[in-house]
Structure 1
Amino acid sequence: MRSDVITVQTGSRPTVRDITAEAQAFVSSEGDGLLHVFVPHATAGLAIIETGAGSDDDLLTAIDALLPTDGRWRHRHGSPGHGRDHVLPAFIPPYATVPVLDGRLTLGTWQSICLVDTNGDNPTRQVRFSFLPG
């Protein structure tokens, strides 16, 4: 197994950040196997979705509808509504696994690996890539 960590700047607002290029660069010298992607944070997740056609903004809108930033949350430190950020990984998990064939991610035509971060209090994230040879 080979593993590496990248740092991703997500900023101070909720964001969906495409990390497919970084993932592909990590596996490009590999053969067949699995890429496992993990975010070691309690307030971020990973999604495999289409980006660039509005789906990333639609995802943030859906998160806001499902997990609003209001006073309902018992977890209350940080920005107002921050408790929802701690619930996010139950809906958008902090991990994803993608098959790799001959050093290429086998994503569908419109699929991208995206870091989903709704926590503006923590603008710097770590993402671990692990390659498991087949």
Structure 2
Amino acid sequence: MDSIVITVRTGSRPSVVDLTAQAETFTSGRGDGLLHVFVPHATAGVAIIETGAGSDDDLLTALEHVLPADDRWRHRHGSAGHGRDHVLPAFVAPYATLPVLGGRIMLGTWQSICLVDPNGDNPTRQVRFSFLPG
């Protein structure tokens, strides 16, 4: 298995960052296998969604409805509502595994690999790409 870690700047507001281009660069020329994307953070996740047509903002809105950033959370360090950020990985897993054929990630036409980060307290994230040849 081959693996790299990239650093992604997410900023100080909830964000969805498209990682597809970086993942494609990593898998290019590798043949057939599996790409595993992992975010080693307790307050971020990986989603396979459409971006650029509003779905990324819709995802953040949906998460705000399901996991509001208010004072209801027992986990209270960090900014207001930070406890919800620690619940996020139960809804948006911190990993995804995708098939790769001929060095190309087998995403659907409108699918992108995205880092989902609601936590403005941590503006920089690490993402690990691992390739398991098949």
- TM-score, length of structure 1 as denominator length: 0.99
Question: What is the count of residue pairs matched by the alignment?
Answer: 134
Unaligned runs of 5+ in 1: none
**Equivalent in the alignment of 1:100:** 100
Deviations 1:33-81 (A, max 9, x none): 0000000000000000000000000000000000001110000000000
Spell out the pairing of 1:50-69 with structure 2 (5 A cutoff): 50-69=50-69
SS at match of 1:36: strand
Using the TM superposition, give the Cα deviation of residue 132 of structure 1 relative to its aligned residue in structure 2, in angstroms: 0.3
SS at match of 1:12: coil
**Equivalent in the alignment of 1:39:** 39
Unaligned runs of 5+ in 2: none
Amino acid across the alignment from 2:111: Q
SS at match of 1:64: helix
- TM-score, length of structure 2 as denominator length: 0.99
**Equivalent in the alignment of 2:48:** 48
Using the TM superposition, give the Cα deviation of residue 29 of structure 1 relative to its aligned residue in structure 2, in angstroms: 2.0
Determine what percentage of the aligned residue pairs are the same residue: 80
Q: Which runs of 4+ in 1 moved over 3 A?
A: none
**Equivalent in the alignment of 1:131:** 131
Using the TM superposition, give the Cα deviation of residue 5 of structure 1 relative to its aligned residue in structure 2, in angstroms: 0.3
Q: Does 1:112 align with 2:127?
A: no
